[in-house]
Amino acid sequence: MQLDATTVSARRRAFRALHEGAGILVLPNAWDVISARIYEDAGFPAVATSSAALANAFGYPDGNAFDVDVHLEALERIARALDIPLSADVESGYAADSASLAAFVTRLAATGVAGYNLEDVRSEGELYPLDEAVQRVRAARAAAPDLFLNARTDVYLATIGPAESRFDATVERLRAFADAGADGVFVPGVMDGETIAKLAAAVRRPLNVLAGPKTPAAAELQRLGARRVSVGSAPMRRTLGVLREIAHELRDAGTFSYTREPSVPYDEANRLLRRR
């Protein structure tokens, strides 16, 4: 059962408005229905997915290897389970050309998501040439103009080019993406405040950064000019770290100390999923 058009439209307007408010949008990344519901229950006004985390949860590695049909079905299931907007991380749109990308974005819009991240990565360590990347943003925008298109460049994350050239290369791409219709811009791999502030000032679109070990706190990111911070696959990988500790305890000691640690109670887990 898909969400009705009125609900989808309202969520898309609400998601767009979250980028225009006084405060920075802290956008947590989920990997299945219950992780998304945990975030919603905690009071977040919107949730995103992580492409890496969602792919891993379904048995795929990150890197455009996820089965497209499975991915879209999962997004629809998560969107339907929420009462708040969902943004999707869809890597490079599983498409080598603009026409195929537009077809994918049309299918993506039908899942009920409110927005999505679109990467400029063609293959590992390689970006689409700028003119082609711009054509892709333009085609994606035209395919679903009411979705919040967050155009991402991996110049920093993939360490493209000499270090001293990355800022200018990133700004060139972000400005071109904005001119092509991107609603927001995303630069993962940048954690120092000086660069974040310079990027935010250089591009007239809401800047999204990816949280990492050295990323300033949300309040400081807001002061620097960032409008959105997401967390990627880190929460899922931290959860897997806890699960691995449990596995090692069971294997090595045969004890059950994890049952005394904080957890979501059985009844509460069921309550989170009993809404639809």
Q: d(Cα 180, Cα 109) in Å, to the nearest integer?
A: 19
Domain residue extents for the chain: 5-233
The pLDDT-based confidence of 16 (bands split at 50, 70, 90) is very high
Domain 5-233 -> CATH class: alpha beta
The predicted-structure confidence for 50-63, as pLDDT tens digits, reads as follows 999 999 999 999 99
pLDDT in tens, 217-232: 999 999 999 999 999 9
Q: What is the pLDDT of residues 165-219, one digit of tens each?
A: 999 999 999 999 999 999 999 999 999 999 999 999 999 999 999 999 999 999 9
**Whole-model pTM over 0.75:** yes
Buried-state track 17-47, b at ≥16 Cβ within 10 A, e below 16: ebbeeeebbbbbbbbbbbbbbbbbeeebbbb
Q: What is the pLDDT of residues 148-158, one digit of tens each?
A: 999 999 999 99
